[in-house]
Amino acid sequence: MSLPRLVPLSLRRPAGVPPLSPRPPGRAGVGGRLARLAPAALGLLLGMLALGPALGPGFVLRYDMVFVPDPPPAFGPALGAGGFPRAVPSDQVVALLSLALPADMVQKALLLGVFVLAASGAAALLPGERTAARLAAAAFYAWNAYLAQRLLLGQWALLLGFAGLPWAVRAAAGTTWRAAGWGASTDGAAEGGAMGGAGCAAGGESSGRWYAVRLAAALVPAAVGGFQAMLVTAITVLPVAALSGPPRVARARVPVTALVVAVLSLPWLVPALRSDAVTDPAGVEAFAARADGPFGTLGSLLSLGGVWNAEAEVPGQGSWSVAAVRLALSLVALAGFARFIGFAGFTAIARVRERRDARVNGPRFGRGLAAAAVVGLGVACLGAFAPGVLRGLIGWWPGFGPFRDGQLFIAPLVLCQALGFGFAVDRLGRVGPAAAAVPVLVLPTFALGAFGRLAAVDYPDEWRRVQALVNADPAPGALVSLPWGAHRAFAWNGGRVILDPAVKMFARPVLWDDTLVVERRAGGAIRVAPEAPAARRIGALIRDGHGPLTSALTREGVRFVLIAQVNENEFLSRLPGARPVLRAGELLLLRL
Amino acid sequence: MLKVLAALAVGAVLAGVASVAVVNVASPTPEPPNKPLYNYGTR
């Protein structure tokens, strides 16, 4: 079946959809190729600007982002201790990449890759000849409060999925803009076969069997990222696959999409289902979306912020002026998206025919992406406005635990706004390219590592010595990390809070306290109980008076105890018979 | 021409807001915490 390749845009534009400026539908030659590479280059530039001092020599350590030198591939923080596999397979991929490159270089490549992938992906959802629109969408998607806050929370693995999301949407909808304009792809879906229509947009060169291959390739970043990245991707690609063509296309495509998502989730899904970890419903209050500015929780979420942790806010983002400008930009972007997807009735509800025509001619992924954004916003609002529902769900099945941190599910809303912003910029004419600076101007303090919140540091020498000693020991047995708490704030890391690095350093199971303590600004703390059974048992031992621990730890299969940065006598008195192996700097390593 | 003027006006507003934000954030901050254990965060 032949599909229309180049149809004059003026013939495609339905009533109600704003006219496009009369530009040629494509560019050839070097100039065209440079224009296509421009979004990726812009992403790289924005990444360098955002990371700033974090690109220096050393590791960037902040909250969940803990990279270590020579990471062992065999164990992650959860694989060894029986908790939920939060860093699977991301830690294993980092360990494998670190066989070829120093781990700090791997980290920088991944962080910069997030920006490049995000920017180029958002641009790839817009027609190739619309350079200003593509650059604006690229800048918006690579520079926003969501990305900034999640980066400041150290969730680089989630951001891999976020960066790959536009590519996943593109693959799930079978969208290409190779030979047509804004409204071309839906025609391909309508005229193509069930899966053929899914795989081709303009030209019919893709067959249905390539749909799964393309989708799997597009989902690789999310698959590497692990459970959060895949969940965000799943709630996006499934509606896109379901709503991106005629019903018979969706019937063929949705099961394939679900199967690809399920297969790529196996690395973390299998250990999660086999785990006997539990989820504390108290986490609903701790990790619900919150107001990070003057416009309340909903205003924060619409402005793409609202992360649960106040320490992960971009500095200065909560001031009235900055928050107001961000919210205004988001509203403009949402209006732009409504028009982009052809919802001309947005401004003229009564003109039913106009609306229907516009829907038919919108981008193929438009309705699905809009549905995903609504669902994501709903999940984000659930913990904030109906916590009882979520607590009940988690109490019924711990698998609902990931929905505690609902704000992360607004990723499709970010993509909607980026595309809407690009569409709005396309109407600006000659001043359009300058609009690529707007996302930076509305969140300027994300620059330079959020003004020092991100920086590169070296591990003190004693950490590497302990790592070498423990990993060289052939005898089996776990390592217990003390003091009994999940997070540290080392002076050598500028006081930045990080997950205990011991969790990721050793080629043996590490037993650590995965209790999460979140301070309330109003006073008091929320304690989210540990998930891993071993952590619960050892935690009870440590907190239970001042008796000796040596025999109990030996029964738990413990061979080493690592004590960091505290008065060692506090623990030595409870570990009779333990032999010091290394005492250096802030560390004391004991063998039982 | 009208679009250019409007863009300049919007750009000036954005630049002003951005400048104020940067100046506020770049001002000296207290010493970071230096204690062995720390909370996962604050809300």
- Cα–Cα distance, A409 to A486 (Å, whole number): 25
The minimum CA-CA distance between B26 and chain A, rounded to whole Å, is 7
Same domain (yes/no): A351, A491: no
Chain B residues with CB under 8 Å of A140 CB are none
Domain membership flag for residue A86? no
Is A73 part of a structural domain of the chain? no
Does one domain contain both A137 and A203? yes
Give the closest-approach CA distance of B34 to chain A in angstroms.
6
Asked which of A448, A468, A486 is the last residue of a domain, the reply is A448
Mean pLDDT of all residues in A71-75? 78
- From the list A435, A486, A565, the residue facing B36 with the nearest CB is A565
Phi/psi class of residue A332: alpha, beta or left (left: φ > 0; alpha: ψ in -120 to 50)?
Answer: alpha
pLDDT greater than 70 at residue A230: yes
A312–B41 C-beta distance less than 8 A: yes
Q: How many domains, in total, are found in chain A?
A: 2
Closest chain A C-alpha to B24 CA, distance in angstroms: 7
Do residue A314 and residue A425 come from a single domain? yes
Question: Which of A448, A476, A491 is where one domain is finished?
Answer: A448
Largest CA distance in chain B: 60
Which residue type, as a one-letter code, is found at position A572? L
Whether residue A464 sits in one domain with residue A426: no
Q: Does residue A506 sit in the same domain as residue A359?
A: no
Taking an 8 Å cut-off on Cβ atoms, the answer to whether A444 and B18 are in contact is yes
Q: Do the domain assignments include residue A585?
A: yes
* B-chain residue closest to A428, CA distance: B3
A257 and A206 in one domain? yes
A517: nearest CB among B17, B35, B40: B40
- Type of residue found at A11: L
**Residue A476 in tokens:** 């089996």
Average confidence (pLDDT) over A539-559 = 87
Residue A385: half-sphere exposure toward Cβ, Cα within 13 Å: 12
Same domain membership, residue A433 and residue A377: yes
Q: Is the pLDDT of residue A344 over 90?
A: no
Average pLDDT value over all residues in chain A? 85
- Which of B7, B25, B34 has the CB atom closest to A489's CB atom? B34
Domain assignment present for A62: no
- CA dist., res. A511 & res. A535, Å (int): 6
Question: Which contiguous run of DSSP H or E holds residue A419?
Answer: helix A411-426
**Chain B residues within 8 A of A519 when measuring between CB atoms:** 39, 41-43
Compute the nearest-CA separation of B2 from chain A (Å).
10
Please give, rounded to a whole number of angstroms, the shortest distance from the CA of A347 to a CA of chain B: 22
Three-state secondary structure call for residue B42: strand
List A residues 430-459 in contact with B (Cβ-Cβ < 8 A).
Answer: 430-431, 434-435, 437-438, 440-442, 444-445, 451
Judging contacts by C-beta atoms under 8 Å, the chain A residues touching residue B15 are 441
Check B36 against A495: CB less than 8 A apart. no
Q: Is residue A453 a part of any domain in this protein?
A: no
Last residue of a domain, one of A387, A421, A448: A448
**Residue of A514, A511, A486, A509 lying closest to A498 (CA atoms):** A486
Q: Is the pLDDT of residue A52 over 90?
A: yes
Give the pLDDT confidence score for residue A487 in this predicted structure: 94
Q: Is the pLDDT of residue A502 over 90?
A: yes
- The enclosing H or E element of A381 equals helix A366-385
- Indicate whether A278 and A367 sit together in one domain: yes
Q: CB contacts < 8 Å between A and B, how many?
A: 115
A355 and A469 housed in the same domain: no
Rounded mean pLDDT, A346-366: 54
Q: Which pLDDT score is estimated for A208?
A: 67
Say yes or no for a CB contact (<8 Å) between B24 and A290.
Answer: no
In the predicted model, residues of chain B with pLDDT beneath 50 are: none
Q: What is the pTM of this model?
A: 0.89
Interchain proximity A494–B32, CB inside 8 Å: yes
Q: Work out the pLDDT band at A14, boundaries 50, 70, 90.
A: very low
Minimal CA–CA distance to A151: which of A230, A215, A63? A63
Angle at B13 between CA A431 and CA A329, to 5 degrees: 70
Clarify whether residues A463 and A404 are in a common domain.
no
Q: Of the ranges A131-140, A193-202, A205-214, which one carries the lowest mean pLDDT score?
A: A193-202
pLDDT the model gives residue A206: 47
Residue A566: list chain B partners with CB under 8 A: 36
Q: Given an 8 Å threshold on Cβ–Cβ distance, is B36 in contact with A483? A: yes
Flag whether A4 is in a domain. no
Q: Which of A42-46, A359-363, A461-465, A538-542 has the lowest mean pLDDT?
A: A359-363
User: Which positions in chain A touch B7 (Cβ < 8 Å)?
Assistant: 428, 431, 434-435
Establish if A269 belongs to a structural domain. Answer: yes
Phi-psi region of A350 (alpha: psi -120 to 50; beta: other; left: phi over 0): alpha
Instruction: State pLDDT tens for residues A92-135.
Output: 999 999 999 999 999 999 999 999 999 999 999 998 788 999 99
Neighboring chain A residues of B32 at a CB cutoff of 8 Å: 489, 494-496
ipTM of the complex: 0.85
Q: Are residues A353 and A430 in the same domain?
A: yes
Give the distance, in angstroms, between the CA of residue A447 and the centroid of all CA atoms in the same chain: 19
Q: What is the DSSP string of A142-166?
A: HSSHHHHHHHHTT-HHHHHHHHHHH
The answer to whether residues A73 and A82 touch, using CB atoms and an 8 Å cutoff, is: no
| pLDDT > 50? residue A560 | yes
Nearest CA in chain B to A286: B43
Interface test with B, best of A143, A290, A292, A322 (most B CBs within 10 A): A322
CA distance B16 to chain A (A): 9
What lies within 8 Å, CB to CB, of A356 at 6+ separation is none
Query: Are residue A444 and residue A466 in the same domain, yes or no?
Result: no
- Residue A569 at interface with chain B, using a CB cutoff of 8 Å: no
Q: Is residue A348 part of a domain?
A: yes
Q: Which domain holds residue A395?
A: 9-56+102-448
Residue A12 — very low, low, confident or very high, per pLDDT cuts 50/70/90?
very low
